[in-house]
Amino acid sequence: MPFNYVTVKASSDLFTPATRAFGDILVIGKGAIGSAGSSAQSFTYPSEAVKAYPPGATKLTDKVEPPTKTAIVAAKCPVGTEVAIGKGEAAVEVRTITAVTEAGGKFTLTLDADLKIAHAVDDPVAGQGLSDLAAAISLAFRQTPPPTKVWGIEVAFDNPVWSTALTEAEDVPAQILVLANTPLNEQPSTKHPVELLAKHVTEVSNTGGDGKERIGVAMLDQTLTQAKQVALNKGSIHDNRMVLVAHNSAKDDVAAAVAGVIAGHEPHISLLLKSVSLEMPDLFTATEIQTYYDNSINWVTSPVMLPGHGLYLGEGLTASPSGNKKYIDIVRTLDDISFRIKAALIEAVGDLRIDRPGLRTVVTLVQSVLSPQVSRGVIEDYTVHIPLLVLLERERATLSADELKQIGNGRSGRSVDMEVSVVYAGVIHQIAVKLVLKG
């Protein structure tokens, strides 16, 4: 072994900034018949959600004597639900619920057709198909490109407490929130779940801590007149952290579908004319589309110029243009860049000093975040300005008493102000063409 005067053992301790997903979804929704709710779970495949939230069931509390269109059960079932009544392959009858009444803790179901077989007390009444929550998660995954991860919080089927679920949602690392099968309408008249969602995304984004910024997605009730629909974009809902979607789909959870579309694209990608996978037989008229646009509401459309006659998101609007945040990609890009800068600057806290080398390092850290964004075309340009560094760059003899005091205050208070200006070039949404034919 040779003799060494100096021995160096090299190791690597490189700092790696934290990262976060740009499009994880949280769906809050009702479970199946009889469900009491459950805590947050994450899914990477729709089949996982179907297993986690299976179809529910209840039982008959009174004997069924045919022929009859009524059945009395122990748990509430929603109108429109298809249920299988009875046990044994030959004795099961499938009917659709048309009305529900409650009396004495029991629920009387009115069915779309007579039951033709006698059913005993305690015979099962099983829901058919997916619960609201499982169906919404499955539809979000059905978009192209699909989201990477979807979270689910199940609320009780019979008496959902949306506020409790939204409180739990504060700690879920998701950027897009949606309430399963919960259109914005006039029922209930106060404290609508979508209103609670809007308050949640605004409050958590502003006061919920670093990296908690998020948006909410909600669909309008397609049974309401357009005048009533647009009138509901008010109060806390009329905010640039909310996304509202108009549609003509009587079957699919359009809010979940659009949330899946948003999650499948990077923050700086405009949502205009991005494909949406759902069923919607009827389109909006030009007049209806203009009304939605004027009221900051998106719509689902099928432009004739695009091949295949698929469905697309007609715009990428937030529910309010306030703060120059008219489009979804602006809000998401600001959230993304803000997180990246914070994640890089955390290295400086507690280590770098308030002097020229320290503040120059801070500038370099911000440049290391934003320069790649310029190269990728996410942003066009940026500037970083630290007033204290400007003073420290000058000769001390040239500083006034007030400027020296500013340096002293910064050092004693251990605080540095910095301004980062980013130039964001939005994508083209409209092109006006003047075609002139000359002979």
pTM value? 0.88
pLDDT of amino acid 15: 63
User: Does residue 4 have a pLDDT over 90?
Assistant: no
Q: Beta strands of 86-230 (E only): which ranges?
A: 93-103, 106-115, 124-127, 150-155, 176-179, 215-219
Stronger pLDDT, 180 or 190, i.e. the higher one: 180
Per-residue model confidence (pLDDT) at position 165: 97
Given the structure tokens 């007033």, which residue do they identify? 387
Q: What is the pLDDT of residues 216-265, one digit of tens each?
A: 999 999 999 999 999 999 999 999 999 999 999 988 999 999 999 999 99
pLDDT for residue 329 = 96
Q: What is the mean pLDDT of residues 41-63?
A: 92
Q: Which helix (H) or strand (E) holds 289?
A: helix 286-294
Q: In whole angstroms, give the CA distance from residue 296 to residue 230.
A: 9
- H helical segments located in 319-395: 328-345, 356-375, 387-392
Kindly report the average pLDDT of the chain as a whole number: 92
Q: Give me the phi and psi of 320, to 5 degrees please.
A: -155, 135
In this predicted model, what pLDDT tens digit does every residue of 116-127 receive, in sequence order? Answer: 999 999 999 998
pLDDT at 5: 78
Task: Check residues 47 and 80 and name the one with the higher pLDDT.
Answer: 47
In b/e form, how buried is each residue of 122-154, taking b as 16+ CB within 10 angstroms?
ebbbbbeebbbbbbbbbbbbbbeebbebbbbbb
Considering only CA atoms, give the Rg of the chain: 28
Nearest to 237 by CA among 171, 314, 296: 296
Q: Which residues contact 118 (CB under 8 A, 6 or more apart)?
A: 63, 64, 65, 66
84 to 54, 145, 411: CA distances (angstroms): 15, 36, 73
Statement: residue 6 has pLDDT above 90? no
Burial class (CB in 10 A: 0-12, 13-18, 19+), 187: exposed
What per-residue confidence (pLDDT) applies to 179? 98
Nearest to 275 by CA among 306, 305, 247, 244: 306
DSSP letters of 385-419?
E-HHHHHHTS-GGG--HHHHHHHHHHHHHT----E
Report the pLDDT value the prediction gives residue 17, as an integer from 0 to 100. Answer: 67
Task: Work out the average pLDDT over 44-67.
Answer: 92
Ramachandran area for residue 104 (φ above 0: left; ψ -120 to 50: alpha; else beta): left
Q: What's the pLDDT at 298? A: 98
> What is the average per-residue pLDDT within 272-291?
95
Q: How far apart are CA 407 and CA 327, in angstroms?
A: 40
* pLDDT at residue 364 is higher than 70: yes
- Distance (Å, whole) CA 202 – CA 215: 8
8-18: pLDDT as tens digits: 887 766 666 66
Residues 6+ away with beta carbon under 8 Å from 85: 60, 64, 71, 92, 93, 94, 95, 115, 119, 123, 124, 125
Would you place residue 1 in the very low, low, confident or very high pLDDT band (cuts 50, 70, 90)? Answer: low
* 385-437 pLDDT, tens digit each: 999 999 999 999 999 999 999 999 999 999 999 999 999 998 998 899 999 99
Q: What contacts 303, CB < 8 A, 6 or more positions away?
A: 273, 312
- Note the pLDDT of residue 14: 62
Strand 312-313 versus strand 38-43 pairing type: unpaired
User: What 3-state DSSP class applies to 84?
Assistant: strand
Q: What percent of the chain has pLDDT over 70?
A: 98
What stretches of 174-317 adopt beta strand conformation (E)?
176-179, 215-219, 242-246, 298-301, 312-313
Average pLDDT estimate for 254-282: 96
Please give the pLDDT value at position 411. 93
Q: How far apart are CA 69 and CA 65, in angstroms?
A: 10
